[in-house]
Amino acid sequence: MSSVLTPEDIRNLRTGAHFLTCTIDPTAIYIYAEMIQRAMEDRSVELITVDELAPDDLVVAVGMVTQGLFIADMPPVGDEFLGCIRALEASLGRSVRAVYSLAAANINGIVPLMVGLQSSLPVIDSDPMGRVFPLISQTTLNIGNVPIGPIALMGVTGERAVVEVESPQRAETLVRALVTELGGWAATAMYPCSAQQLKEHGVHGTISRMIRIGQILDADTAVEKKLLMLNEFLGTTRIARARVSHIESLSRPTDLGLPAQPSSVTLDDETTGRIIRLEIQNEILLVLVDGAVTAAVPDMVTLLNSEQGTVVNTDDVQLGDVVDIVKITAAAQWYTESGLDLTEPKAFGIPIVHPRRRHA
Amino acid sequence: MRVGLRLQGTRCRAVVLDGRTVVSAAREVLAGSLPEALDSSLSGLRREFGSGITEITADVGRVLAERKLADVVAIRISPRPPADAFHMTVLPPLVEPAVTRTVHVRGGHDLRGRPLARLDLEAFLADLPGILAGDVRNVAITSVGSTASTDHETRIADAILGSDRDMRISISSDFYSSVFRDRDYTAILNSALMETGEELAAMLEEAGRRQFPAGHLSFAKNDGGRAPLARLTVAPIHGLRAGPAMGILGAATLAGIPEGEVILCTEAGAAVGHTRAGLPVARSLIRQGFDASLASNAAILEPYTVHHPVRTDVPSVIADLRERQETALPFGLVPTLPAVPDAALVGTAAAPLTAWIDRLETVTGRVDLKRVQNLAEEDAHSAAVQLGAGPGQTRIIESNVYAMPYGNPGIVRIRVQAAGETSADEERVLPAAMRGTTR
């Protein structure tokens, strides 16, 4: 069912996108939310379900791919995504009917709304990750063998490229190299596919989910109540309320193909005496409680301020902070054999098999 | 002995500290002007304590906040200007009216310090006479990627100073944030405050020289430290909002807690901060909701809530800073420091010299990381010594490395704080655990 989004929806989506990013600095989300709210004063954006499109309508994923300078340090000029869509339309010889998010969390959870406002294209309430992963090959569309290319990229310099590529892994290598040379991020349009393909292989309801999460977290209620409501809505579990006792950077060897360095945080659960270890690389990949795997990517893990119930940024984590460690189960596709092949800890260089695979 | 001053309006309030002991309770002078109030206050202290006073530190945060901001020309360097109104940088309402003109210059760097676009100095030089012809004497320069390379900001600054050496220029790479709008906002606000900073520094210098010619004069910073007055003329931003940091430091000083939790209770409510190695725990940004943040290392002071975790293993002080103690404190808090409304002045008197190193480094592995971190610690130590600290009385307070999410492989952020005292002043107000270092 389509709906026209309101500024209040954007405020809530901002919070939801941050919650699901597993605690990366949200400044770029804030900046986009502010830009969208200003743009909404004289134009509107429509959120639709994939069912509202004709099966063969052309839809494309839009999102930022980053490796280098932060989006917030090199703000988009504003013409990048429209340039990418035009380039894909020229390459495919067809008009795009709607856009969807490359990843329904963090900056890419909110970017499609600006694209919708600028282009008047509707935004589909679906995405191919159901969260955010660092690699563009880590999508449910990839699991479903939906081609990733052609991919259009445009950076802040105004330089643009269209990559004709079939293999998602090759696409990863090529796009990553281009993004680095474009300055650190690129607006992209990729996974051009039919609405039917997105319906079959996407994760659905993920934009409205962020809005609902924001409604819960921004409500004037106690933290415990918020955690309860999140549990009812998302099936979240609180792994622990614990105090940060140690922070370590470059704590594991890493594949240079993965953006960012790994780091680790150790926490003490002062109620139970348990020791919790978080392994981080862009997001929280792994949670060990007394050495046992309690959450592992593709599970989502986020940190909440134990007093305020607000999302904690990994940049802001300090020794002595008390945080709630919250686990959210990812989309069902990620727990299949092929889903785990793409996203379990081994894909991030951590030699651990996901517990669900062990128990399968 | 050390003096802590707080300037506001036409008032000057002072406290004198000897070690951890308040030897002269806070007294306030109200005069016809701020210079008169300051001079009268220092004159009284000279009559009472003579040459026993070696350090004078002034919290000028309220004066900086209450003065009208000077007009500023904002120069933004990036590969391309915004294509539409939505993508323009939005400044917080406080500073937006101060920006009388915005100039875009093509340029900028990526995180590796490589140019994204050649600096269009020729076009800027063509615009420069028009910029200099106006009445505005303050300029803020912010470039994309200036955390990795300051080259384009400094070349534009040099071009301006080459035409007019009297211009006041603030460049964003003097303030660490990985967010363009934070640095832009900070550079603009800093530039808008420089004239007031110059006036305050001159006023304090003159009064100090007259009353305490051998004394060291400093201003209080929002990280809980102090810096020589010369820094107030170029980086007044760090003197803004020094009050919370000084409150934490003052309460911790009076309670003798170099490592612990400090709960400050005022008429506005209760707030909590922490001390580490004798100084308030600080964050590199002053966040302002969803608006741009100020890129200034500042003490963290957050609202105390009913859910605040109580720890018996961490030393804690609950300071009642209210002017009147007729009602109980909120949340059932019982003060361990009752009736200390001038704790922040004690903190101002006790503040050590502090310096920060906050920069990006490229590393190849753990050994290399250790090397660049050691180098940053040495640089922070040197920076504190350059502020006047004795080499033997300077220590590292904080030394951290941050991974850069979604950044280039091998690039990390290193952040180090050093603190020290002048050789003349061997009083260590919070000596215990001073050598503690966190990683």
What is the Cα–Cα distance from A248 to A131, expressed in whole angstroms?
A: 26
Nearest CB to A75 within list B89, B178, B366:
B89
Q: What residues of chain A lie within 8 A of the CB of B366, using their CB?
A: 250
Does residue B150 form part of some domain?
Answer: yes
Do residues B355 and B380 lie in contact, with contact meaning Cβ atoms separated by under 8 Å?
yes
Verify whether the Cβ–Cβ distance B147 to A73 is below 8 Å: yes
Q: Please measure the distance between the N-terminal and C-terminal CA atoms of chain B and give it in whole angstroms.
A: 34
Sorted by where each starts, the structural domains of chain A and their CATH numbers stand as 3-206 (3.40.1610.10), 221-358 (2.40.390.10)
Taking only the tens place, the pLDDT of each residue in A117-164 is: 999 999 999 999 999 998 999 999 999 999 999 999 999 899 999 999
B96: domain CATH number is 3.40.50
Contact map slice: A 63-122 vs B, CB within 8 A: 66-70, 72-79, 114
Chain B residue numbers touching A83 (CB-CB < 8 A)? none
Q: What is the pLDDT of residue A222?
A: 85
Contacting residues for A98 by C-beta, under 8 A, at least 6 apart? A48, A53, A57, A59, A121, A122, A123, A124, A195
A282 CB within 8 Å of a chain B CB: yes
Distance from CA of B180 to the nearest CA of A (A): 4
Q: Please answer whether residues A175 and A188 qualify as being in contact, where contact means their C-beta atoms are separated by less than 8 angstroms.
A: yes
Report how many domains make up chain B: 2
Amino acid identity for residue B391 in this structure = P
Nearest to B61 by CA among B310, B292, B237: B237
CA–CA dist A275, A281 (Å, integer): 20
Using the predicted structure, report yes or no on whether residue A256 has a pLDDT greater than 60: no
Q: Other CB atoms closer than 10 Å to residue A111's CB: what's the count?
A: 27
CA pair distance B146, A239, nearest whole angstrom: 40
Residue B320 lies inside a defined structural domain of this protein: no
Q: Which domain holds residue B382?
A: 352-422
Q: What pLDDT shows up at residue A23?
A: 59
Cβ neighbours of residue B379 closer than 8 Å, sequence gap 6 or more: B357, B416
Q: Would B437 be classed as within a structural domain?
A: no
Is residue B18 in a domain?
Answer: no
In a domain, B370, yes or no: yes
Q: What is the C-alpha end-to-end distance of chain A, expressed in Å?
A: 36
Most A-contacting residue of B406, B408, B411 (CB-CB within 10 A), to test interface: B406
Sort out which chain B residues have CB atoms less than 8 A from A320's CB and list them: 274, 281, 314
> Is the minimum CB–CB distance between A273 and chain B shorter than 8 Å?
no
Residue among A206, A282, A270, A199 nearest A240 (CA): A270
Q: What is the pLDDT of residue B438?
A: 36
Boundary-marking domain end, from B142, B176, B191: B191
Which secondary structure element, helix H or strand E, spans residue B382, and what is its range? helix B366-386
* B182/A27 touch (CB, cutoff 8 Å), yes or no: yes
Nearest to B290 among A34, A282, A307 (CB): A34
Highest mean pLDDT among A17-21, A88-92, A175-179, A220-224: A88-92
Whether the CB of A339 is below 8 Å from some CB of chain B: the reply is no
Among candidate residues B157, B191, B225, the one where a domain is terminated? B191
One digit per residue, the tens of pLDDT, for chain B of length 439 reads 999 999 999 999 999 999 888 988 888 999 999 999 999 999 999 999 988 899 999 999 999 999 999 999 999 999 999 998 888 888 999 899 999 999 999 999 998 899 999 999 999 999 999 999 989 999 999 999 999 999 999 999 999 999 999 999 999 999 999 899 999 999 999 999 999 999 999 999 999 999 999 999 999 999 999 999 999 999 999 999 999 999 999 999 999 999 999 999 999 999 999 999 999 999 888 888 778 899 999 999 989 987 777 777 789 999 999 999 989 999 999 999 998 889 999 999 999 999 999 998 888 877 888 899 999 999 999 999 999 999 999 999 988 887 776 667 788 888 899 999 987 655 555 544 443 333 3
The runs of H, that is alpha helices, within chain A are 7-19, 27-39, 80-92, 106-119, 140-143, 168-182, 195-201, 206-218, 223-234, 337-343, 355-358
Mean pLDDT computed over A220-228:
87
Max CA pair span of chain B: 67
Provide the pLDDT for residue B314.
84
Task: Kindly state the helix (H) or strand (E) to which residue B245 belongs, with its residue range.
Answer: helix B243-255
Sign of the four-CA dihedral A179, A182, A187, A193: negative
Instruction: Say if B210 falls within a structural domain.
Output: no
Nearest CA among B170, B157, B104, B160 for reference residue B133: B160
Task: Return d(Cα A64, Cα A74) in angstroms, integer.
Answer: 12
- pLDDT beyond 90 at A261: no
Q: Residue A190 is encoded by which pair of tokens?
A: 């990729």
Q: Output the CA–CA distances (angstroms, integers) from residue B46 to A203, B53, B216, B426, in the order listed.
A: 74, 8, 14, 21
Render the burial of B45-60: b for 16+ CB within 10 Å, e for the rest: bbeebeeebbbbbbbb
| pLDDT score, position B425 | 57
Residue type for position B393: Q
Considering B191, B207, B232, which residue would you say is the last residue of a domain? B191
Which positions in chain A touch B404 (Cβ < 8 Å)? 260-261
pLDDT value at position A54?
98
**B302: chain A residues, CB-CB within 8 Å:** 307
- pLDDT at residue B432, rounded to an integer: 40
Contact B144 A73 (CB under 8 A): yes
A298, A335 in Cβ contact below 8 A?
yes
**A153 CA: distance to closest CA in chain B (Å):** 16
Degrees, nearest 5: CA angle B125-B128-B132? 155
Q: Is residue B45 part of a domain?
A: no
The answer to the question of residue B304 being in a domain is: no
Q: Which residues in A lie closer than 8 A to residue B82 (C-beta atoms)?
A: 75, 77-78
Per CB-CB distance under 8 Å, the chain B contacts of A30 are 290
Instruction: Evaluate if residue A180 carries a pLDDT over 50.
Output: yes
Please give the full DSSP string across B84-134, using - where no structure is assigned. SGGGS----TTTGGGEEEEEEEE--B-TTS-BSS---HHHHHHHHHHHHHS
* Contact at CB, B79 and A319, closer than 8 angstroms: no
| Closest C-alpha among A75, A53, A78 to residue A66 | A75
For B244-295, the pLDDT digits (tens) are 999 999 999 999 999 999 999 999 999 999 999 999 999 888 888 778 899 9
